[in-house]
A and B are shown apart, each in its own frame.
Chain A
Amino acid sequence: MQFFGGSATTEASLLPAAPPGTGAGGPGNNAHMLYIFNRAGVCLLYREWNRPLRTLDQQQDHKLMFGLLFSLRSFTAKIDPTVVEKGNLGVPLLPGQGCSFYSFKTNTYQLNFMETPSGIKLILITHPKTGDQREPLKHIYNLYVEYVVKNPLYVPGTPIQCDLFTKNLDQYVRTLI
Chain B
Amino acid sequence: MGREVAESCIDGVIIEMVSAYSTRFYSSKPDVAARRIEAIGYQVGHQLSERYTMERPRFADHLEAIKFICKDFWTEVFKKQIDNLKTNHRGTFVLQDNHFRWLTRISLDPAVVANTEAASEGESGADSGAQMTSMLLYFPCGIIRGALTNLGISCAVSADMSNLPACSFVVRIKA
**A interface vs B, CB < 8 Å?**
4, 10-11, 14, 146-147, 150-153, 161-167
Contacts and interface: CB of A to CB of B under 8 A. Distances in A.
Interface stretch (B65-73, B82-90, B108-116): B108-116
Main secondary structure of the interface of B (DSSP, over half): helix
A53 to B, nearest CB: 23
Interface string B89-127: 000000000010010111111110000000000000100
B106 A152 contact: yes
B107 A151 contact: yes
Contacts of B132: 152-153
Interface stretch (B11-19, B25-33, B50-58, B147-155): B11-19
Contacts of A150: 8, 11-12, 15, 105
Nearest to A155: B19
A147 B107 CA distance: 9
Contact of A153 (B8, B11, B99, B106): B106
Given A152-B18, A152-B132, A162 B107 contact: yes
Contacts of B99: 10
30 contacts: A4-B111, A10-B99, A11-B104, A14-B104, A146-B105, A147-B107, A150-B8, A150-B105, A151-B106, A151-B107, A152-B15, A152-B102, A152-B105, A152-B106, A152-B132, A153-B106, A153-B107, A153-B129, A153-B132, A153-B133, A162-B107, A163-B107, A163-B108, A163-B109, A163-B110, A163-B111, A164-B105, A165-B107, A166-B111, A167-B111
A4 to B, nearest CB: 7
Nearest to B108: A153
A166 B107 CA distance: 10
Contacts, number: 44
B136 interface: yes
Nearest to A159: B110
A151 B105 contact: yes
Contacts of B125: 161
A86 B55 CA distance: 60
Nearest to B102: A152
A11 B105 CA distance: 9
A167 B109 CA distance: 13
A146 B110 CA distance: 17
Contacts of B110: 161, 163
A13 B105 CA distance: 13
A97 B38 CA distance: 45
A166 to B, nearest CB: 6
Contacts of A10: 99
Most chain-B CB neighbours within 10 Å: which of A11, A147, A164?
Answer: A164
B134 to A, nearest CB: 11
